[in-house]
Chains A and B, each alone.
Chain A
Amino acid sequence: MRKIWWKILCVVIIFYVIIMGFIGPVPRLAIINESIRNTYFHVALWLAMTTLLFLSMIFSIRYLMKGNIKDDDIGSELAKSAIFFGILGCLTGSVWANYTWGDPWPNDPKLNGAAVGILIYLAYLLLRSSFEDEQRRARISSVYNIFAFAVFIPIIYILPRLTDSLHPGSGGNSTFGSYDFDNNIRRVFYPAVIGYILLGLWIAELRIRIKQINRVREEALIESGRL
């Protein structure tokens, strides 16, 4: 394994984030108190998910331009690991909201947008599973993937800012950077984002390899005439 360094980096960063995330110094703020540590997990997970979805869209575009089935494998597996992160992000946010806003699922535009976003991508998985032919599935779900990303960004990042939301950066609340993001948080938060992105890439990479090995084996079986 020549390219193992980034996996080691990923493990190191994740451990650093977990340890520093729970025992590192954080600013004291009213109401939020210690639960500000959730920034390292919840916010970072969402950012990692958006990055993975963006990469997935890039690979879908590449598939449509070049028609190489490997690009579609990469795109779909990136989308799957992004959905996994999205569900984790929802869960961590929900636990946090339970203690800070007093309700595990407050009626907030950003939360509803997130739920809709996850529904869009679950529909993507459903669409993938409803085709038999590989090339056809790849082309049509790539089209849907690009379309979905273009709708996903307004739902999560633009529409909630137009209305009142409990999340920072919308409805008169200021964004993170302006008041409570001191250097202690930055030192853990940015590595956290990178660490989660690397972890997502790792998960996707393993699944892509399994997929490609399966494809090669199937072809070998067909060629040997046992099918």
Chain B
Amino acid sequence: MLLYVVSTVFVCYLSFNLRRNQLTPIVWNTLFWIILLFTAVNAIAKSFSQERHGRLLYYYSLCSPQAIIISKIIYNSLVMAVLSVLGFAIYAFVMGNPIQDNGLFSICILLASTGFASVLTLIAGIASKADNSATLMAVLSFPIILPMLLMTIRLAKNAMDGLDWSVSTDEITTLLSIDLIVITLSYLLFPYLWRS
């Protein structure tokens, strides 16, 4: 997955190489989050479909479904956090770093990776039950993740402009509440999902 991030960033770097001066902060920001979004979809889509049927049965006989979904969400959030921090390091290294408020931006990365991970884990669980899970994963997850992506991009823009923290409290609370809603729903709904 790390290689995936690195190569995507490098492809973007090479594509923008010709017109380096056209890379405005807005383009920089949007491009970074879209790279992260695709990384997240690809990384998390595997979390259910990769495991064999027998092993899933074994898990289910060991512990409750709530424990499984919570542990999967925590694991995926950690993976996403590591991937996005490393991705950001490489991205900033090749594309330049226009960020003025690093603290706010790291909060933004943290919230976004938790949010992406929790939404995509449940969607991956749903999609893995169907036959053509790769297509279904994209179709199901993009519209649902879009509001979260928009809030994140706005928050990241605030961090880049070095605005005061009080300006972005709205975005932070909204992101936090979306995360909470999604995690609660996954916790409640997953037991119905794994039974089939």
Using a CB–CB cutoff of 8 Å, the interface residues on chain A facing chain B are: 64, 113, 116-117, 119-120, 123, 126-127, 130-131, 135-136, 139-140, 142-144, 146-148, 150-151, 154-155, 158-159, 162
Contacts of B140 in A (CB 8 A): 123, 127, 144
CB of B174 within 8 A of chain A?
A: yes
A162 with B174: CB separation less than 8 A: yes
Contacts of B182 in A (CB 8 A): 150-151
- Name A153's closest neighbour in chain B (CB-CB): B181
Tell me whether chain A's interface is mostly helix, strand or loop, or mixed: helix
Given the known interface contacts A123-B139, A123-B140, the answer about A64 and B192 at a Cβ–Cβ threshold of 8 Å is yes
B130 with A127: CB separation less than 8 A: yes
Tell me whether chain B's interface is mostly helix, strand or loop, or mixed: helix
How far does the alpha carbon of A151 sit from the alpha carbon of B140 in the complex, in Å? 12
Closest 9 interchain pairs by CB? Answer: A119-B143, A120-B143, A130-B130, A143-B189, A136-B196, A123-B139, A116-B143, A64-B192, A123-B140
CB of B185 within 8 A of chain A?
A: yes
For the complex, count residues of B whose C-beta is within 8 A of A.
27
Given the known interface contacts A123-B139, A126-B136, A130-B132, the answer about A151 and B174 at a Cβ–Cβ threshold of 8 Å is no
Given the known interface contacts A135-B196, A139-B193, A143-B192, the answer about A150 and B185 at a Cβ–Cβ threshold of 8 Å is yes
Given the known interface contacts A123-B139, A136-B129, A139-B196, the answer about A147 and B122 at a Cβ–Cβ threshold of 8 Å is yes
B189 with A146: CB separation less than 8 A: yes
CB of B147 within 8 A of chain A?
A: yes
A-facing residues in B146-191 (Cβ within 8 Å): 146-147, 150-151, 170, 174, 178, 181-182, 185, 189
Given the known interface contacts A135-B196, A139-B193, the answer about A130 and B147 at a Cβ–Cβ threshold of 8 Å is no
